[in-house]
Structure 1
Amino acid sequence: MQPRRSAQWYAGDVRNSYIHRAWMRRGLPAGAFDGRPHIAIANTASDLTPCNAHLNEVARSVSDGIFSAGGIPLNLPVVSIGETQVRPTAMLWRNMAAMAIEEMLRANPIDGVVLLGGCDKTIPALLMGAASVGLPAVVVPGGPMLTGTFRGVPLGCGTGVWQLSEEVRAGTLSAAEFTRSESSMIRSKGHCNTMGTASTMGLLAEVLGMTLPGVAGTPAPDSRLLEAAHATGELIVDMIERDLRPGAVMTRGSFLNAIVALAALGGSTNAVVHLLAIAGRLGVELSQDDFDRVGSHVPLLVDLLPAGRFLMDDLYRAGGLHAVLAEIRDLLDPAALTVTGRPLVDYLEDVPVYDREVIRARERPLQPEAGIAVLYGNLAPGGAVIKPAAATPELLQHRGPAVVFDSIEDVNARLDDPDLNVTADSVLILRGCGPKGYPGMPEVSNMPLPAKLLAEGVRDMVRISDGRMSGTAYGTVVLHVAPEAAACGPLAKVRTGDMIVLDVANRRIDVDVPDDEFAAREPAPEVVNAFARPQRGWERLYIDTVGQANTGADLDFLLGSSGDQVSRESH
């Protein structure tokens, strides 16, 4: 057997080996340094990441599984990003968390790692970091919360916020009732129970092959999550014995499978930037156009909010992820592996569906074509994305005058002004919200509708932004416009009153202004003045090195893998 990586720290009788062993002997068994694998549990539990607060309990089950299989479990708290808590936006810290995780995995005497995540950015960051290092790794998704009810009906976490807050602004729900809904929405431990980014990335981690098959989507309070966590602890010991590493699991075929699954699930548009970033760490060839080419004609099979009616614990009881994938098995790469060493498709034989309202048959889909559409045009030379499954069909082909906002603060100041010149046909444009401009590409693209239009009964409008939107959100929203305004993108030149043409069927997003006139325009001073200009710290490093959304918004010096070896030994 090849020597353990951890033996580079512990083996031998020299002074450094003595130091490494002595400081770790606090309760470890006598044979801990005699060839047993040392396994980190990269744990994103944090009281300030509410969706991940239960992961300490999950970590204990993982630890028990590792120990029972002959490994040495080691809790490794890593950077945790609370989507609902951190300012200015959690996406600003995804790359930092991935970099910190990468460095800690490489720096420490470990032979493999179990990755515990739940909230939106934590699973992507964990996978990016683990992919860069390349040690055997497996994910345990923290799982969604249980369904709460308000006024007698199920309440989707996240989606309900957007719906109810608009009702308050429309005058159909009191502020007191809105506040009362808070505890109804967050009924239990776990992440959002809609098909938001957290649910999407947990499920796609399994489609990528990086979880114990069958675990993704297990509700956080369900005891079967702890059972799966224990089994995952046992599995990582076996993976180390087989030297099964992320690069052998997450191949191009795995990523194309994830794109197919993203469409069938009605998953979050945020998966585009996350999958591109993970692939970039592995050196896997993947482009934004693959999402349209591979996924746009895949039917939507899962009737879940925000595109449908049900919630994540309904999906689990109806048969779960494997039941969905079984319907589209012929669209999946049969060679793509899982962490068990077996192909993903091996787990899709004779999978029952217990509720055909939640998981539709392929011949009776919720929508016949529901994947991400990638748009190009003079407003988005580098592309933009839209999620037709969450949009109003009548607005997918639209022409209307722009109403331009130069920042989130500008939206807050002017949106509800009774004198704002806006109609239901207007196209709301929010710029300066890309990776560099904000910074961090916040989830603000599904901007609220003007109060006076809400009062008239309007509930959707075409909106365009260089930012993102929450996976729990909905509406006819064009996102991730590239290049962003802060990277000299054409969005910075649009003026209120310009005619905007959206044509999703033909994959176009344009401003109807003569080419020479548009080219001659200077960026609006108001938007330039609103761009972020940090002078120090992480924000400065981020703005100086971050890529655009169409490549995954990773830092340019973090692309590619780095390996598991440290450059120098300790002394």
Structure 2
Amino acid sequence: MSETKKTIKLRSAEWFGTQDKNGFMYRSWMKNQGIPDHEFRGKPIIGICNTWSELTPCNAHFRQLAEHVKKGILEAGGYPVEFPVFSNGESNLRPTAMLTRNLASMDVEESIRGNPMDAVVLLVGCDKTTPALLMGAASVDLPTIVVTGGPMLNGKLNGKDIGSGTAVWQLHEQVKAGEITMHQFMSAEAGMSRSAGTCNTMGTASTMACMAESLGTSLPHNAAIPAVDARRYVLAHMSGIRIVEMVWEDLRLSKVLKRENFENAIRVNAAIGGSTNAVIHLKAIAGRIGVPLELEDWTKVGKGMPTIVDLMPSGRYLMEEFYYAGGLPGVIRRMGEANLLPHPDALTVNGKTIGENCAEAPIYNDEVIRKIDNPLIADGGICILRGNLAPRGAVLKPSAASPHLMQHRGKAVVFENFDHYKERIIDPDLDVDENSILVMKNCGPKGYPGMAEVGNMGLPPKLLAKGIKDMVRISDARMSGTAYGTVVLHVAPEAMAGGPLGAVKDGDWIELDCANNKLQLEISDEEMKARLAARAAQQEPPKSGYQQLYIDHVLQADEGCDFDFLVGCRGSAVPRHSH
């Protein structure tokens, strides 16, 4: 036995390592599954936190994935114990999976802390499962490794590749514009999602997989291997081996999730054209592990980083091509060679630095992973906007926006909530033109509640029929990472929390100036105060159950939308239970 192993006291021994009544009972109950006695003697017990669910199609193949993780754990001398947690699937769960991200994180945190495990493997995939599991694990701080389910294969339509999510938005706009028939629209349905896995665009699922890898919480290439590629199962196996080694090295999550790792992730998000949702999720993860991270860091760290991954919705290709081109290690190598990776010496879960992992990463396709001097977008950093309309900030994704709208002044067309938008946008008499700015209120964390992905409002049909493809849109909502357009999101404070967005009226002039990070409603301070005072008198009826808990305790978008009582690392200590 190595010297390191001699000095590590296994946490699971508090349950299984005593020769008394409690040890007897803990072991005896576990033995009803046919576990032999020697498995409890000095072996690390590794939890496999599984978000498998048939209602979360992105994660529906996780039973098989978990088996490969188990093989690696057993090979390395550990013992695997698989357990389920709440699976918040983006595609089916109403009103939005974001509403239950914090709930899932609580499930994860309490499951890890309260059970006899020395380390944990997080099986993640669909949008919110990645941040939820990392948030929960960060609050406990055991050795932790992320294994992602991987993206699905390219969608196919009329002999061409189509991207999941992105194709829906594009085709739906084409139906409304009369460019394609409803029959053509429906024929795309089966071909868009034709294998296991997450969205194959650089949506939130792929973005958060890339964030997990760039944070150093997964093995290299975890983000991009397709779900049905055999190499996905090899990675799961190798992750199982590695997590056992991490126990003996005492390589806990807090030793990996440093400020430097978050700065790397922010810069990587710009390089890949990642989702705006990463802004909220990284803040929440940082809050759990105790790393200071502010909205302004996205400007300070990310600004000036070219987008070099040519992937939908910003570019042309899909996640299959991204993996075959070299995946995230290829991107990080390009960044490192150009001195654009802030902290190449940041530690990762395989015990090496991110620079060491990616220094010799092969790059097979310069069209998909472009060279720094031939970017898709010259500056892909998330644009943070401030002004009297968003005193605590708002975000815009430059790689998904139209350059001619990045500096724009227009009259507001206002929707009080999402239902009002759906009702009003189809009105042929709506007073709107291509220079108008669509404004939607009451869709933030408290307002929806849950801050649904409705910020990329579809354009008025009468403008689509004229060939208009994009307009400035502003809301306190989120946007799917698969969506595109000149869309201002996460306006904070939100309208429901008394934010200035609630004061906007039809016909108000609004100025968007991305170059100067400005979002301004052109009314006087006195007028703003009067309008907000009038709104404050309106009371929303109370919700019931978890939704009311959410409204009462959720933080604003600039703070990561975590619950106020969940921020911070509470550690793995748990009172000993005596039977």
Please indicate the TM-score interval, normalised by the length of the shorter structure: over 0.9
Post-superposition CA distance 1:287-327 (Å, at most 9, x none): 11101111021001000000000000000011111111111
Aligned residue pairs total 569
User: What SS does the corresponding residue of 1:500 show, helix, strand or coil?
Assistant: strand
Post-superposition CA distance 1:259-298 (Å, at most 9, x none): 0100000000000000000000011011111011110210
Cα gap change, 1:242 to 1:4, in 2 (>3 Å): same
Q: Distance in 2 between matches of 1:316 and 1:352?
A: 11
Given candidates 381, 388, 391, the residue that maps to 2:391 is: 381
Aligned to 1:517: 527
Aligned to 1:92: 99
Aligned to 1:220: 227
Aligned to 1:419: 429
Cα gap change, 1:353 to 1:527, in 2 (>3 Å): farther
Q: Distance in 2 between matches of 1:24 and 1:351?
A: 44
Cα gap change, 1:142 to 1:527, in 2 (>3 Å): farther
Q: How far is 1:523 from its partner?
A: 6.1
Q: How far is 1:29 from its partner?
A: 2.8
Q: Distance in 2 between matches of 1:532 and 1:191?
A: 37
Aligned to 1:13: 19
Cα gap change, 1:470 to 1:9, in 2 (>3 Å): same
Letter in 2 for 1:377: G
| Cα contact 2:256–2:347 (8 A) shared by 1 | yes
User: What SS does the corresponding residue of 1:509 show, helix, strand or coil?
Assistant: strand
Letter in 2 for 1:157: S
Q: Distance in 2 between matches of 1:527 and 1:344?
A: 53
Identity over aligned pairs, percent = 53
Q: How does 1:162-241 map to 2 (within 5 A)?
A: 162-241=169-248
Given candidates 306, 309, 318, the residue that maps to 2:313 is: 306
Aligned to 2:548: 540
Cα gap change, 1:527 to 1:506, in 2 (>3 Å): farther
Aligned to 1:428: 438
Q: Distance in 2 between matches of 1:32 and 1:474?
A: 52
Letter in 2 for 1:538: Y
Are 2:48 and 1:41 aligned? yes
User: What SS does the corresponding residue of 2:491 show, helix, strand or coil?
Assistant: strand
Q: Distance in 1 between matches of 2:280 and 2:468?
A: 31
More deviation in 504-513 or 29-38? 29-38
| Cα contact 2:209–2:222 (8 A) shared by 1 | no
| Cα contact 2:383–2:397 (8 A) shared by 1 | yes
Q: Distance in 2 between matches of 1:394 and 1:59?
A: 48
Q: Distance in 2 between matches of 1:178 and 1:415?
A: 21
Q: Distance in 2 between matches of 1:556 and 1:186?
A: 37
Aligned to 2:401: 391
Are 2:488 and 1:478 aligned? yes
TM score, norm. by length of structure 2: 0.97
Aligned to 2:76: 69
Cα gap change, 1:532 to 1:309, in 2 (>3 Å): farther
Q: How far is 1:525 from its partner?
A: 5.5
Aligned to 1:360: 370
| Cα contact 2:498–2:532 (8 A) shared by 1 | no
Q: Distance in 2 between matches of 1:20 and 1:537?
A: 34
More deviation in 478-487 or 363-372? 363-372
Q: How far is 1:139 from its partner?
A: 0.3
Q: Distance in 1 between matches of 2:462 and 2:570?
A: 54
Post-superposition CA distance 1:64-112 (Å, at most 9, x none): 1101111110111111011010111110000000011000000101110
Alignment root-mean-square deviation, CA: 1.3
Aligned to 2:258: 251
| Cα contact 1:493–1:523 (8 A) shared by 2 | no
| Cα contact 1:439–1:543 (8 A) shared by 2 | yes
Q: Distance in 2 between matches of 1:241 and 1:347?
A: 21
Q: Distance in 2 between matches of 1:175 and 1:55?
A: 35
Post-superposition CA distance 1:417-472 (Å, at most 9, x none): 01111111110001101101110000000011001011111110000000100000
User: What SS does the corresponding residue of 1:482 show, helix, strand or coil?
Assistant: coil
| Cα contact 1:432–1:527 (8 A) shared by 2 | no
Q: Distance in 1 between matches of 2:149 and 2:418?
A: 32
Q: How does 1:49-198 map to 2 (within 5 A)?
A: 49-198=56-205
Post-superposition CA distance 1:482-526 (Å, at most 9, x none): 000011100001101100100000100011112222222236759
Q: Distance in 2 between matches of 1:193 and 1:526?
A: 43
Q: How far is 1:528 from its partner?
A: 4.9
List alignment gaps of at least 5 residues for structure 1: none
Q: How far is 1:570 from its partner?
A: 4.0
Q: Distance in 2 between matches of 1:436 and 1:402?
A: 23
Aligned to 1:443: 453
Aligned to 1:3: 9
Are 2:467 and 1:461 aligned? no
| Cα contact 1:375–1:507 (8 A) shared by 2 | yes
TM score, norm. by length of structure 1: 0.98
Q: Distance in 2 between matches of 1:311 and 1:528?
A: 46
Are 2:28 and 1:22 aligned? yes
Q: Distance in 2 between matches of 1:361 and 1:85?
A: 38
| Cα contact 1:443–1:467 (8 A) shared by 2 | yes
